Amino acid sequence: MSTTPLHGGAASGFRRMWHDLEALGLEGDSGGYHRFAWTREDHDLREWFAGECADRGLDLTTDRMGNQWAWWGDPDAAVAAGDPGVVIGSHLDSVPNGGAFDGPLGVVGALAAVDQLRHDGFAPARPVGIVNFADEEGARFGVACAGSRVITGALGADRARGLADNDGVTMAEAMRRAGRDPAALGRDDETLARIGAFVELHVEQGRLLVDLGHSVGVGSDIWPHGRWRVDVPGEANHAGTTALAEREDAMLGLAAMIIAARRAAETQGCVATVGKVQVLPGGVNAIASSATGWLDARGSDADAVLRVVTEVRDVVSDFDGLVTQESWTPTTDFDPALVRRIATRLDGLPVIGTGAGHDAGILANAGIRSAMLFVRNPTGVSHSPDEWASADDCLDGIAALADVVTDLAGAGA
C-alpha cells in the first residue's frame, strides 16, 4: 500500500482511544464484550463518542433512531449546494461476548483519520461526517443493523418499537429508559440526504487478506443473508413419569431443525447457524413445552439460501413448528465506481467480498453510494473474544481511510 503512514499524533490518538474503550462493557474476565443496544454499556460508549467529537469541535446530532452523527463542516449547507458530505464510521455495540474490533475499529479509526487529515492541513471541499450506528449487531432485539434499517425504512417503525429482548423489554421501552423518544423512530430523509458517500472501515471477518498478503482490502459485496425464528410447540410434563411414547417434546423438533439446517447448508453450498435457543420451562426434569431457535443463513446465492430455509420449514412442520422470517438482506453490491475509485487510489489493493452484514450494506441497498475497507485479521475469527488485528494493520487501515476521505472530500472530487 502506498498511502502515507499515519503521523505520530494520529497513531498515538488511536492507541489512547483504543485503551479508553478496553474497559467498557467487558464481560467478566472472559476478554469479551457485552455491549447491547440501549443498555448502561451502550450509554457509556455513546457518551465516550460524544466526548471525542466535542474534543475535536465536531457538531454532534442524533437522527430519528438515535444514530450519532458528528460533522466537520455544515452538512445542510452542502445538501443545499447539491454536494453532500462524505461519512465514515461504524458501530460500537457487540454480539454477546464479542470481540473488541467488530465496530469499534471503524469508529475509532474514523476519529483518528480526521486527526490525520487535520494534521495534514486538509481543507474539506465538502463536509466530513463520523457516524456511530446504533444496534448494528441486533444482539438484543434480534434484527441486525436496526439503526440503519430504521432510518432507511427497511425496518418499519412499528415493528422496530415492538421488538422485544429476552426479558420481554421492547425496543420502545429500552429507548425510553435510555432517554430517547421511540415515537420519533422512522425513515429519516434529512439524515440520508446528508450522505454523499459512506465508507466503513472494519476488521475482516475471514482470512482472505491473510491469503492475499495485504493488511488492507476494499469491500466489493455482501452475501445475501437473513434470520429466521423457529418455534416448536410441546407439552410440559414430568421427566421421570412420562413414557416416551406419550411425550410432546419440543426439543426433538428443535434438534431436527438444527440438523436439517446444517445438512441443507451443506447441500446448497451455504452456511447456516443456530447460535441462540430458548427453551421453556427450562427445567432439567421437565419436558420442554416450547423450544425456539434462531436460524442465521447466508451464502453467495440468494436462491440457495432460501432453499435452506424451505428445507428447514419442511422438517419443522412435522413437529407443528413455525418458521418466521425476522430479517432478509439481498445480495449487496457496493457502488462499483466507488469501489474502483478507492481501489485505484489505494494503489490496487485487493477487492474482496464478505459473508458478514454491515450498515454500509443497508445504506447501499437504500441507494446511497457506499463502500468498505477491511483490515487483516490473522485468524479470521470474529464475534468472539479471539477477534484481533495488529496495531500496525489497524494503522494501515486508518491511513487508507484518511487517504480515501482526502480523495472523496477534496476539492478535486
CB of 145 to ligand GLV, least distance (A): 8
When the beta carbons of 103 and 142 are compared against Mn ion, the nearer one is 103
* Position with the least CB separation from Mn ion: 102
Partner in contact with 357, chosen from ligand GLV, Mn ion, none, beta carbon below 5 to 8 Å by kind: ligand GLV
- 85 or 103, CB closer to Mn ion? 103
Convert residues 354-383 into a mask of x (bound to ligand GLV by CB under 6 A) and - (unbound). Answer: --xx--------------------------
Task: Tell the smallest beta-carbon distance from residue 272 to ligand GLV (Å).
Answer: 13
> Judged by CB, which is closer to ligand GLV: 53, or 222?
222
Binding site for Mn ion (CB under 5 A): 102-103
Picked from ligand GLV, Mn ion, none, the partner binding residue 103 (CB below 5 to 8 A depending on kind) is: Mn ion
**Please, which of residues 133-162 interact with ligand GLV by CB under 6 A?**
137, 144
Which CB, 68 or 329, lies closer to ligand GLV? 329
- 258, 257, 259, 251: which is closest to 235 by C-alpha? 251
Total chain residues near ligand GLV (CB under 6 A)? 4
Beta partners for residue 149, in sequence order: none
Nearer to ligand GLV, 222 or 315 (CB): 222
Among residues 25 and 124, whose Cβ is nearest to ligand GLV?
Answer: 25
Sign of the alpha-carbon dihedral angle for 308, 314, 319, 325? positive
Closer residue to Mn ion, CB minimum distance, 253 or 357? 357
As a whole number of angstroms, the distance between CA 250 and CA 205 comes to: 34
What nine digits make up the cell of 68? 450519532
**What are the Cα distances from residue 240, in Å, to 244, 289, 290?**
10, 16, 19
Interface of this chain with ligand GLV, residues 101 to 140, rule: CB under 6 A: 137
Q: Which helix (H) or strand (E) holds 65?
A: none
Cβ 17 to ligand GLV shortest distance, Å: 21
Q: What angle is formed at CA 296 by the lines to CA 378 and CA 381, rounded to 5 degrees? A: 10
Beta pairing class for 271-280 and 290-298: antiparallel
**Hey, what's the cell of 204?**
475482516
**Residues 4, 63: Cα–Cα separation, whole Å:** 34
Q: Judged by CB under 6 A, does residue 32 bind ligand GLV?
A: no
Report whether 209 contacts 343 (CB < 8 A).
Answer: no
- Minimum gap (Å) between residue 395 Cβ and ligand GLV: 23
Kindly report the length of the chain: 413
How many Å apart are CA 47 and CA 45, to the nearest integer? 5
Work out the number of other CB atoms within 10 angstroms of the CB of residue 165.
18
User: Site residues (CB under 6 A) for ligand GLV?
Assistant: 137, 144, 356-357
